[in-house]
Amino acid sequence: MSKGFEVPDKVIYVCTGSKCKKKGGKEIGKMLRNMIKDMGLKGKVEVVKTECTDRCDFAPVMSFQPDNVWLQHTTEEKAKQAFNDHILKTDGQV
């Protein structure tokens, strides 16, 4: 039996096209996925891998929805900061 069609509250789209993947996007996506798991946010927040988003000069690229915040030349630090600001918000609530 397949899973029901459940939709998370927030989504982080991580580009895993070849350029972003090579520049560490895949590992950062993995880190975010682990953070979601560790914080018990599975089901509420989801990491979705995407194909190339046509912004390869700015790799690795990812976006945080629904705030529509896009990161370029993403580092682990930048991704953690965006996670705090746009997923957890200041009150720690999703």
From candidates 39, 41, 48, 52, binder to ligand FES by CB under 6 A: 52
Q: Is 61 in the site for ligand FES (CB under 6 A)?
A: yes
Strands 10-15 and 45-50: parallel
Q: Is 62 in the site for ligand FES (CB under 6 A)?
A: no
Given the complex with ligand FES, which of 26 and 33 has the nearer CB atom? 26
Residues contributing to the site for ligand FES (CB under 6 A): 15, 17-20, 52-56, 59, 61
